[in-house]
Structure formats: structure tokens, C-alpha cells
Amino acid sequence: MPGRNLVNDSLIDTLIVGAGPYGLSIAAHAQAHGLSVRVIGTPMDFWQRHMPAGMLLNSEPFASNLSSPAPGSSFTDRHPGWPMGQPIPLRQFIAYGEWFAEHAVRGIEKVQVQHVQAADPGFTVTLSTGEEVRTLTVVIAIGVRQFAHVPAQLSALPRELVTHSAEHHDLSRFADRDVTIVGAGQSALETAVLLAEAGARPTVLSRKDHLAWNAIPLPDPSWTSKALRGPQSGLGHGWRTWLWSEHPATTRALPDRTRQRIVKNTLGPAGAWWLRERMGHGVTLRLGERIVEAGTNNGRVRFSTVTTHGGIHLSQTDHIIAATGYVPDIEKITILDPDLRRRLRLRHRSPALSRNFESSVPGLYFAGLTAAASFGPVMRFVHGSSYAAQRIADNLVKPRRSAPPKAAVPPVQPDKSVATK
């Protein structure tokens, strides 16, 4: 903790940690309710620095909207006529997020939250500037990065040789090198394709013995096709997918084990339909193999795999990228004071949340991946941000509506730090 803390005695209504799709959407709704809100984080930072350049979004345009009560601020409002089935380039989505940050949210502060601890009332939040902020409520919208999962067989190897896919934006550094990508989801397959297109020699290695591909969306499906496939929703086709996608409150009411199974299995590892053809150029596949041991050898990785038929292979590669996903774990949210973490009631290492996204610590809210254990798989995607933002903002404003206004509500931070394009 910095030694020269500047204590700000004014009490604000809420502080939002993170300025990704969830943090920005929650901020837009909370500010529209007239709450004093501080939003801490660089807008769309994870998308800018931790996703591969040249990536295309997997979500359809209507499922890639940030949420604001102000009309005209959804992706589809900003890009009318963007057809279903035409993937959105990463840079276009980042530009949209930055536009949203500039026009739909006030006073974003491009600094970090370092520490959150309980106070009376509310919380004290320490920023990377050394400032201590007093706030009645805190919304944790920190996204996925700290939950990046690297399999145990690889986690002890040096970072020059083994990285998680979240560590890469510019893949051109791998030109002319053998790179093994572990995983079979969209991130693994798209990273492999982009590596091949950047002049590397990628190999996808997965314990699954076949790759799964998402169906091509039909912009104007026939009645028969609709009946066969079920409705189109933010997470894909089918009635069950529609339920998890559009009705997170119902998903929350399901028995815990059922919901956990849904979170695990919905939209399991699969590639986007538009990636399939590009896979054919320069990507080697090794399916039905699992890494059991790995080490180093003359600046390369040597590793052993076991096949589904029990065969053992020894291999070498210049670099391994683990595209092995994100596993939420409350112990990895180290900005939360240990005392707060201890007080949280948990569901599968994520906080158990009320129907308003509030944890068992009153005033402490969670949104995004950490809310998936309570609200289901839609919270892993941008599409869930609209539901989360409205519920959280509506709940944050309740005490304000039932109590007389506080004596001193400080203004939101000056606009000088507002995100710019």
C-alpha cells in the first residue's frame, strides 16, 4: 500500500472497478439514476492488450451491445445495417467501447484500484494514485484476466516458453517459429489461424478427438428452420440456450448443481463457423492428445503426450500458448482485503450473489465472469451486461430513494481523464 495516501472524506454512492463492457454499462445506468459514481480503469483495456490483433468477435452484433438507458448507444445503433453473420473486427468493437466510454459514461479514471476494505459505512478503496476513496458500495467488474488458467503440467515453465493466450496481442513475434497451442475453443483455433497468417508454424493440440464448430447463423430463417433450431438468442440457437441467454434470473433459481453444469457445458469449446476454412491453411492438428509432462531443452519446450488410445509421444516446440480458458476464483481477486474475502459466501469459488448481484457482504457487488456461478453462462459474455447493469443500478439507487439526500455528494471526477479515442 502506498505510504502517501490522500484521504478523500467525501462519501460517494458507488465505485466501479473496471471499465470493460460490464463496468461501463453499470456506470451508464448508475449515473442515469443520479448516483455519484467513480469508474476506475482504462476503457476496453483487456480487449486492447490481451486479445490477438486481427481477431473477429464470436458474438453477433445484437449480442455485442453495451447497455445504457440513453438511446442510440448500442453497437447496432452505432452500426445500423451491420448484418447478422458478419463478424465484428476486434478493432471496431474496441472503437465502439471507447466511443461508449466517452459519450455514455462520465469521468472515467484511467488508474487502478489497489485495495478494497470494509469501513463504516461502506468501504475504503485505495487507488494507484495513493488516493483513498470513501464509498457506500463497490462493484467488482474486473473481467477475466486474473483468472487465466494454465494447466499444472505447464505452469512451472518459464514465460519465454509458455504463456497464456491472454498474454498476446501482437502475434507477429512468433513468425518462423513452431508454436503449440493447447485447447480447442475459439481462442485456441483463432490464435492458431492468426499465427499461421503471421508466418508462424502453429499446431493445435487438444485432448478432444474432434473439433466442434458453431452453426452458420441464418439472417432470415424459414419457419421450418426456426422450428428445428429453436429461437436465436444472444448465446446461439435453441430453447435452452435462449433460457440461459435471456433469463438469467430463472437460471439463478435453478438448483446449484444444475446451474453449475449449464455454466460448464453451455457454449463449450467450439470454433466460429467463419474460422473453419481459414484453419485449412498452415495449421497442424494434433487431436486426442493430452500433455502429461513438460520441461525445457536448449531453449525449447519438450513435452510428452498421451493419446486417447494410450500411445505416448515425445515432442519439442519453440513455444506453447495455453488457450485453456479462465477459471474464476475469489482468492485471485487480491484487491479485496482478506477479511472481505473471508466474509464472502461462495459458490464454486465465486461469490454467491443475490438477485441484485450483491454478495453476502452488503454493498459489495460482482458482475461479469464472477457472476456466472449465480446467474449462468450469459455472464461470461457481453450480452449479459445489459441485465447485470440494470439490476445493479436499480438496486444501488434504492437507499437513495428511501432516504433523504445526503448532505454532501461530491461531483464525479472532472472530465479531463475521460477516455479518448
Residues binding ligand FAD (CB under 6 A): 17-23, 40-41, 45-47, 51, 57-59, 112-113, 141-145, 187, 335, 368, 381-383
Minimum CB distance to ligand FAD, residue 21 (Å): 4
Give the nearer residue to ligand FAD in terms of CB position, either 222 or 265.
265
3-state DSSP assignment of residue 216: coil
Minimum CB distance to ligand FAD, residue 264 (Å): 16
Give the nearer residue to ligand FAD in terms of CB position, either 36 or 126.
126
User: How far is 205 from 180, CA to CA, in rounded Å?
Assistant: 7
Minimum CB distance to ligand FAD, residue 269 (Å): 13
Minimum CB distance to ligand FAD, residue 314 (Å): 30
Minimum CB distance to ligand FAD, residue 26 (Å): 9
Give the nearer residue to ligand FAD in terms of CB position, either 13 or 45.
45
**Furthest-apart CA pair in the chain: how many Å?**
72
| Per-residue cell: 341 | 474475502
Environment class of residue 185 by beta-carbon count within 10 Å: exposed (0-12), middle (13-18) or buried (19+)?
buried
Give the nearer residue to ligand FAD in terms of CB position, either 142 or 315.
142
User: How far is 372 from 351, CA to CA, in rounded Å?
Assistant: 10
Environment class of residue 291 by beta-carbon count within 10 Å: exposed (0-12), middle (13-18) or buried (19+)?
buried
Minimum CB distance to ligand FAD, residue 38 (Å): 11
Element (H or E) spanning 126, and its range? strand 123-127
Minimum CB distance to ligand FAD, residue 217 (Å): 13
Minimal CA–CA distance to 11: which of 139, 95, 136? 136
Give the nearer residue to ligand FAD in terms of CB position, either 16 or 161.
16
Give the nearer residue to ligand FAD in terms of CB position, either 27 or 320.
27
Element (H or E) spanning 305, and its range? strand 300-307
Residue 112 contacts residue 127 (beta carbons within 8 Å) = yes
Which residues, listed in sequence order, are joined to residue 7 by a DSSP beta bridge? 132
Determine the Cα angle at 115 with ends 109 and 117, to 5°: 120
| Per-residue cell: 399 | 437507499
**Antiparallel, parallel or unpaired: β 131-140 and 108-109:** unpaired
Give the nearer residue to ligand FAD in terms of CB position, either 187 or 203.
187
Minimum CB distance to ligand FAD, residue 311 (Å): 32
Give the nearer residue to ligand FAD in terms of CB position, either 315 or 320.
320
Give the nearer residue to ligand FAD in terms of CB position, either 200 or 371.
371
Which residues, listed in sequence order, are joined to residue 191 by a DSSP beta bridge? none
CA distances from 380 to 138, 143, 222, 310, 373 (A): 20, 9, 30, 35, 10
Minimum CB distance to ligand FAD, residue 166 (Å): 6
Residue 177 contacts residue 161 (beta carbons within 8 Å) = no
Minimal CA–CA distance to 101: which of 37, 27, 16? 27
